[in-house]
């Protein structure tokens, strides 16, 4: 009996330990497998980044290609791998090193062989041709077979079937395709480099293709703007243009990028700024620096691709209220080529603090869009403070506008800016203006305000002259509060129009009030704000599709704009 009890006790202990063992295995094994996979993944990522860093290609890794893709080395179908942002090569992870050895990327500058070049052959890339592309020889569709097939030129974007590819095509001169008037050819840069070595500066004589209408474009993209589309756009523009023309403003300042203009013929360059109104102002400030350096003859004309939240300047110049990828990059470049030159007034905003012992220098801003004091500046200030704390939350244009709406609703209840008319004095061209009961004052340079509202014209029920961005005049309006601003934006109310002027002076007598210049807000104590004309900027106006709200106003501005084009 005792032996039986001892055996049963031993078996129960063994069963208990067995249960513990298998429990530990079931818990630890997945953890160990996860840790091993994580280690391998990080090790693989380090190896890939090392290859990317040493490569002449502009590789980017993706976990899933957006269209059926085939490796250019092993010809196998791949779901994930690397692609070159410049020439368009696509390879699997295991073929990266071979791809670097076998395929050259697009040259930004031709190697000098002792003589000047005026042409270059096609740069053919096999496979992964764009959908719905046609063969330049037989005019039939390319890329229809489920395998690595057909060729595409990385410069002119022409495609050709495998069976249509002839030896003569491999050495044929590339015309650079539809966007040849925008591309800076590699042989042009090599020629300019040779001229600089010889200490000459007659760049105007080195015009590629002997074309009269060559207008090279420089792309300046802010990858941190609005809806974070900048990274994708950078790659698409590098495919269509010379990669040397495309700059990421998160890695290089506009002032440095714009020095490329000094290597190009005078008065020919166009700049496309991909970002919000703040990014545009940053670029225009860099252009003003070029004027100070004596580089005025190299000043470019500026177009806008709106990636920000408000985009009022972009809307005023006909480039739209926001871009979300609905227009192909090719069409954007066509719009830049067809755009007309206009002038934009830029204003100096000087803020002088009051005080008996005020030894500080006045704060000086440059204004392109508008200056304001009151509820809309308060919303911008709260938004800015919130974004500084948690920048990762503000990656979407919709989220940004929702936060603005929240702070606007809050101000409707709190009314932090009430009785503004008792706290400030307003002078227009030296004449004192009697203010009604207001909470905010807005000084406008452009037609749009608050993300697409034509503030000065309002509902259009009274005959007011249209706001212009090139007449040397500022429009000054007042608002009764955040709720009034909302009514104006949905066309249920008009602003309080205070007048137009060449010079605006505003005196804040007491207390601290929120102010903003082009979306840059701050809290300001007693001071004097003086707004005077500073300079003009050369912009590009796109007369494309217009909304019903602004079609009539634009049509009335066109005659004057055409006269401005002649001046430019």
- Domain with 129 in it: what CATH number? 3.40.50
Checking if the pLDDT of 209 tops 90, the result is no
**Both 97 and 175 in a single domain?**
no
Range among 155-164, 391-400, 410-419 with highest mean pLDDT value: 155-164
In a domain, 242, yes or no: yes
**Both 339 and 351 in a single domain?**
no
Q: Taken in order 352, 353, 354, 355, is the CA torsion positive or negative?
A: negative
Percentage of residues in the chain having pLDDT higher than 90: 38
Lowest model confidence (mean pLDDT) among 192-196, 316-320, 446-450: 192-196
**Both 184 and 63 in a single domain?**
no
CB 156 within 8 Å of CB 122: yes
Tokens (6 digits) for 337: 């080529």
pLDDT, tens digit, 9 for 90 and up, residues 132-167: 889 998 999 998 888 999 999 999 999 999 888 887
Nearest Cα residue to 144 out of 77, 82, 68: 68
pLDDT, tens digit, 9 for 90 and up, residues 527-547: 999 999 999 999 999 986 544
Question: What is the pLDDT, as a whole number, of residue 404?
Answer: 57
Checking if the pLDDT of 282 tops 80, the result is yes
Mean pLDDT of 213-234: 85
Mean pLDDT of 43-53: 78
Instruction: Mark which of 327, 343, 359 sits at the end of a domain.
Output: 343
Question: What is the pLDDT, as a whole number, of residue 565?
Answer: 41
**Both 90 and 164 in a single domain?**
no
Question: What is the pLDDT, as a whole number, of residue 551?
Answer: 43
Checking if the pLDDT of 274 tops 90, the result is yes
In a domain, 494, yes or no: yes
Phi and psi dihedrals of 18, rounded to 5?
-60, -40
DSSP state string for 369-391: SEEEESHHHHHHHHHHHHHHH-G
In a domain, 1, yes or no: no
CB 307 within 8 Å of CB 275: yes
Checking if the pLDDT of 366 tops 60, the result is yes
Tokens (6 digits) for 147: 């395998």
Mean pLDDT of 189-204: 72
**Both 304 and 430 in a single domain?**
no
Tokens (6 digits) for 52: 């990317």
Question: What is the pLDDT, as a whole number, of residue 7?
Answer: 59
Burial of residue 523, with CB atoms counted within 10 A of its CB: 0-12 exposed, 13-18 middle, 19 or more buried: exposed
CATH of the domain at 88: 3.30.60.20
In a domain, 385, yes or no: yes
Checking if the pLDDT of 191 tops 60, the result is yes
pLDDT, tens digit, 9 for 90 and up, residues 10-29: 667 667 777 777 888 888 88
Measured distance CA(498)–CA(491) in Å, rounded: 19
pLDDT grade for 47, boundaries at 50, 70 and 90: confident
Checking if the pLDDT of 517 tops 90, the result is yes
Mean pLDDT of 497-512: 91
pLDDT grade for 386, boundaries at 50, 70 and 90: low
pLDDT grade for 387, boundaries at 50, 70 and 90: low
Mean pLDDT of 483-498: 84
In a domain, 488, yes or no: yes
Question: What is the pLDDT, as a whole number, of residue 340?
Answer: 93
Checking if the pLDDT of 385 tops 90, the result is no
Nearest Cα residue to 506 out of 558, 408, 432: 432
CATH of the domain at 527: 2.60.200.40
Label each residue of 428-443 as H, E or C. ECCEEECCCCCCEEEE
- With vertex at residue 105, the alpha carbon angle to CA 96 and CA 269, rounded to the nearest 5 degrees, is 140
pTM: 0.84
In a domain, 320, yes or no: yes
Checking if the pLDDT of 351 tops 90, the result is yes
Question: What is the pLDDT, as a whole number, of residue 52?
Answer: 80
Checking if the pLDDT of 343 tops 50, the result is yes
Question: What is the pLDDT, as a whole number, of residue 457?
Answer: 81
Instruction: Mark which of 343, 376, 395 sits at the end of a domain.
Output: 343
**Both 243 and 386 in a single domain?**
no
CB 220 within 8 Å of CB 273: yes
**Both 420 and 519 in a single domain?**
yes
Instruction: Mark which of 343, 364, 395 sits at the end of a domain.
Output: 343
CB 536 within 8 Å of CB 343: yes
Question: What is the pLDDT, as a whole number, of residue 26?
Answer: 81
Measured distance CA(78)–CA(562) in Å, rounded: 53
In a domain, 324, yes or no: yes
Overall domain count for the chain: 3
Domain coverage including residue 81: 48-106
Quick one: which H or E segment has residue 47?
Answer: helix 2-54
pLDDT grade for 204, boundaries at 50, 70 and 90: low
Residue 76 C-alpha from the chain's centroid: 36
**Both 397 and 313 in a single domain?**
no
**Both 470 and 376 in a single domain?**
yes
Question: What is the pLDDT, as a whole number, of residue 361?
Answer: 83
**Both 424 and 475 in a single domain?**
yes
**Both 145 and 236 in a single domain?**
yes
pLDDT grade for 399, boundaries at 50, 70 and 90: low
pLDDT grade for 558, boundaries at 50, 70 and 90: very low
In a domain, 326, yes or no: yes
CB 281 within 8 Å of CB 368: yes
**Both 397 and 315 in a single domain?**
no
- Mean pLDDT over all residues of the chain? 82
Note every long-range contact of 494-499, with CB atoms under 8 Å and residues 24 or more positions apart, other chains counting: 494/458, 494/459, 494/461, 494/462, 495/442, 495/455, 495/456, 495/458, 496/436, 496/438, 497/456, 497/458, 497/464, 498/426, 498/428, 498/433, 498/435, 498/441, 499/428, 499/433
């Amino acid at each position: 009996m005792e032996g039986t009890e001892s055996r049963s006790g031993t078996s129960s202990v063994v069963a208990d330990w067995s249960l513990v063992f298998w429990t530990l295995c079931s818990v630890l094994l997945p953890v160990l497998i996860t840790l091993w996979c994580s280690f391998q993944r990080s090790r693989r990522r380090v190896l890939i980044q090392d290859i990317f860093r040493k490569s002449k290609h502009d590789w980017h890794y993706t976990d899933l290609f957006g269209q059926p893709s085939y490796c250019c080395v092993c010809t196998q179908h791949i779901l994930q791998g690397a692609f070159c942002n410049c020439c368009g090569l696509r390879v699997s992870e295991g073929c990266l090193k071979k791809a670097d050895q076998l395929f050259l990327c697009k040259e930004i500058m031709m190697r000098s062989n002792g003589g000047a070049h005026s042409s270059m052959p096609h740069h053919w890339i096999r496979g992964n041709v764009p959908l719905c592309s046609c063969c330049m020889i037989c005019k039939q569709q390319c890329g229809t077979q489920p395998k690595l097939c057909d060729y595409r030129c990385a410069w002119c974007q022409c495609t050709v079937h495998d069976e249509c590819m002839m030896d003569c095509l491999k050495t044929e001169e590339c015309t650079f395709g539809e966007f040849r008037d925008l591309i800076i050819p590699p042989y042009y840069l090599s020629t300019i480099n040779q001229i600089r070595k010889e200490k000459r500066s007659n760049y105007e004589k080195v015009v590629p293709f002997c074309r009269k209408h060559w207008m090279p474009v420089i792309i300046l993209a802010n990858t941190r703007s609005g809806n974070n589309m900048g990274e994708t756009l950078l790659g698409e523009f590098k495919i269509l243009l010379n990669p040397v023309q495309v700059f990421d403003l998160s890695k290089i300042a506009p002032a440095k990028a714009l020095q490329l203009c000094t290597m190009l013929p005078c008065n020919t360059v166009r700049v496309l700024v991909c970002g919000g109104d703040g990014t545009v102002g940053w670029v225009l400030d860099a252009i003003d620096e070029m004027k100070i350096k004596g580089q005025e003859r190299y000043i470019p004309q500026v177009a806008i691709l709106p990636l920000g939240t408000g985009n009022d300047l972009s809307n005023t110049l006909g480039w739209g209220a926001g871009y979300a990828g609905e227009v192909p990059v090719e069409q954007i470049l066509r719009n830049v080529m067809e755009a007309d030159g206009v002038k934009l007034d830029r204003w100096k905003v000087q803020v002088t603090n009051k005080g008996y012992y005020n030894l500080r220098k006045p704060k000086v801003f440059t204004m392109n869009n508008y200056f304001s004091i009151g509820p809309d500046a308060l919303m911008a200030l709260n938004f800015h403070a919130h974004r500084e704390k948690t920048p990762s939350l503000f990656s979407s244009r919709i989220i940004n506008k929702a936060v603005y709406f929240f702070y606007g609703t809050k101000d409707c209840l709190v009314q932090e800016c009430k009785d503004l008319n008792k706290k400030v004095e307003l002078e227009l061209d030296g004449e004192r203006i009697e203010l009604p009961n207001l909470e905010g004052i807005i000084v406008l340079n452009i037609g749009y305000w608050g993300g697409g509202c034509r503030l000065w014209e309002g509902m259009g029920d009274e005959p007011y002259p249209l706001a212009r961005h090139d007449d040397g005049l500022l429009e000054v309006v007042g608002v009764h509060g955040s709720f009034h601003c909302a009514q104006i934006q949905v066309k249920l109310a008009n602003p309080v129009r205070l007048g137009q002027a060449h010079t605006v002076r505003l005196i804040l007598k007491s207390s601290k009030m929120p102010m903003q210049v082009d979306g840059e807000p701050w809290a300001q104590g007693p001071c004097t704000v003086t707004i005077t004309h500073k300079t003009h900027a050369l912009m590009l106006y796109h007369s494309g599709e217009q909304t019903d709200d602004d079609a009539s106003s634009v049509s009335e501005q066109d005659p004057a704009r055409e006269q401005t084009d002649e001046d430019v």
